[in-house]
């Protein structure tokens, strides 16, 4: 079973202390000391593996079920003896410009915090490292872990939103370049919108739980002094959500602009094509007339008729060319 336990330690007075290997003993030890807490980190545990942990900490069966199956919504559940939070960290894959979402579940009790990670994208190890370097924050107890994870996830959202913003700017340049729109432009915009939707599914529903943690009403097991920290997270999250909503609307606008541009381009092309067609049609018509086989067509006999007619044709074509040029059709 220890394979899925990524890390486990007791934190006393903001400092890591190695406690007993057995979870039961470790929890007992953490509880015995007033302000110590046990932090257990798991990675994609199976049902059986998690069963041992959950029974030890007395986790709520519904939360346990959620923690085992992926594809949860970000949320915060308050049970009688523990909190359960789901956060969906995201990873931006630059080679495909796509967004992948992982899952991070946090169980928080009186003197323990259990974190379960699904998929990549959960910056768990880095957070533990960073926290262990800041004993002042760790001293806040389990809440500090929850705050640090939310903060790390939301900071990452900010980065990903920035990447998407850059992608949008690239798309803009491409769409509005002369002859920039191709058959794939619409598909590209659509695919981008899907990425944005995927991203919003991770960031949007997190707003409500974070606001609750930051709110005046208070949540059990959460320090009152950590409220400004969650308010800060909430603030960053709101900015991400606004930015992403803006992205979504701009993508709709780009699609409309692209459609309008296509209309203009088609019209321009049609005009250009028609102008050239007219320049070919006039000599063809004149030539047809002088190709008629009437016996009595006096012009045909004239010595300078042919060059004159050819010159007239050329003149007509030139005249049309100038006319179309002036009207902006060419």
Site for its own copies in 59-88 (CB under 8 A): 60, 62, 65-66, 71-73, 75, 77, 79
DSSP letter for 8, please: E
Residue 134 lies near its own copies (rule: CB under 8 A): no
Residue 277 lies near its own copies (rule: CB under 8 A): yes
Nearest one of 15, 32, 229 to 138, comparing CA atoms: 15
**Which is nearer to its own copies, 126 or 285 (by Cβ)?**
285
**Which is nearer to its own copies, 6 or 317 (by Cβ)?**
317
**Which is nearer to its own copies, 7 or 232 (by Cβ)?**
232
Strands 36-43 and 112-118: parallel
Cα dihedral 274, 278, 284, 285 sign: positive
Q: Of 126, 281, 312, 318, which one interacts with its own copies (CB under 8 A)?
A: 281
Specify whether the CB–CB gap between 191 and 167 falls below 8 A. Answer: no
Burial class of residue 98 (count of CB atoms within 10 Å of its CB; 0-12, 13-18, 19+): middle
Site for its own copies in 220-239 (CB under 8 A): 228-229, 231-232, 235, 238-239
Specify whether the CB–CB gap between 144 and 131 falls below 8 A. Answer: yes
Specify whether the CB–CB gap between 207 and 124 falls below 8 A. Answer: no
Site for its own copies in 255-274 (CB under 8 A): 255-271, 273-274
Residue 179 lies near its own copies (rule: CB under 8 A): yes
Residue 178 lies near its own copies (rule: CB under 8 A): yes
Supply the minimum distance, in Å, between the C-beta of residue 234 and its own copies. Answer: 10
Q: How many residues bind its own copies (CB under 8 A)?
A: 92
Binding mask 291-310 for its own copies (x = CB under 8 A): xxxxxxx-xxxxxxxx--xx
Separation between Cα atoms, residue 187 and residue 185, nearest integer Å: 5
**Which is nearer to its own copies, 16 or 75 (by Cβ)?**
75
**Which is nearer to its own copies, 21 or 73 (by Cβ)?**
73
86 DSSP β-pair partners: 75, 105
Residue 278 lies near its own copies (rule: CB under 8 A): yes
Q: How many CB atoms lie within 10 A of CB 105?
A: 22
Directed axis angle between helix 142-176 and helix 185-203, to 10°?
Answer: 170
Report the largest interatomic distance among the alpha carbons of the chain, rounded to a whole angstrom: 124
Residue 276 lies near its own copies (rule: CB under 8 A): yes
Separation between Cα atoms, residue 229 and residue 213, nearest integer Å: 9
**Which is nearer to its own copies, 2 or 296 (by Cβ)?**
296
**Which is nearer to its own copies, 4 or 313 (by Cβ)?**
313
Which one of 88-96, 98-106, 127-135, 194-202 is the stretch in contact with its own copies (CB under 8 A)?
A: 194-202
Which one of 44-52, 106-114, 119-127, 244-252 is the stretch in contact with its own copies (CB under 8 A)?
A: 244-252
Binding mask 20-39 for its own copies (x = CB under 8 A): --------------------
CB-based contacts of 254, cutoff 8 Å, min separation 6: 171, 172, 175, 189
In 3-state terms, what secondary structure has residue 276?
helix
Q: Of 3, 34, 94, 183, which one interacts with its own copies (CB under 8 A)?
A: 183
């Amino acid at each position: 079973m220890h394979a899925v336990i990524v890390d486990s330690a007791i934190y006393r007075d903001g400092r890591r202390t190695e406690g007993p290997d057995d979870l039961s003993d470790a929890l007992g030890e953490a509880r015995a000391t007033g302000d110590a807490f046990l932090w257990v980190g798991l990675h994609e545990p199976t049902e059986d593996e998690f069963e041992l942990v959950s029974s030890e900490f007395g986790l709520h069966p519904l939360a346990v079920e959620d923690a085992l199956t992926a594809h949860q919504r970000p949320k915060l559940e308050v049970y009688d003896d523990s909190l359960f939070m789901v956060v969906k960290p995201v990873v931006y894959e630059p080679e495909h410009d796509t967004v992948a979402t992982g899952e991070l579940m946090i169980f928080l009790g009186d003197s323990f915090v259990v974190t379960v990670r699904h998929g990549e994208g959960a910056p768990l190890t880095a957070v533990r490292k960073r926290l262990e370097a800041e004993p002042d924050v760790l001293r806040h107890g389990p809440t500090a872990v929850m705050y640090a994870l939310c903060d790390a996830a939301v900071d990452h959202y900010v980065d990903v939103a920035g990447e998407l913003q850059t992608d949008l700017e690239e798309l803009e340049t491409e769409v509005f370049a002369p002859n920039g729109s191709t058959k794939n432009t619409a598909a590209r915009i659509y695919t981008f919108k899907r990425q944005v939707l995927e991203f919003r599914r991770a960031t949007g529903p997190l707003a409500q739980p974070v606001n609750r943690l930051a709110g005046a009403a208070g949540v059990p097991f959460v320090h009152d002094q950590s409220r400004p920290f969650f308010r800060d997270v909430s603030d960053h999250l709101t900015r991400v959500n606004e930015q992403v909503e803006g992205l979504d609307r701009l993508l709709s606008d780009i699609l409309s602009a692209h459609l309008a541009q296509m209309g203009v381009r088609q019209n321009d092309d049609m005009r250009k094509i028609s102008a050239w067609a007219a320049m070919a049609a006039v000599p063809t018509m004149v030539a047809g007339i002088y190709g008629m086989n009437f016996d009595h067509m006096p012009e045909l006999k004239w010595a300078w008729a042919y060059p004159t007619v050819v010159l007239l044709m050329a003149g007509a074509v030139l005249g049309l060319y100038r006319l179309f040029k002036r009207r902006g059709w060419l």
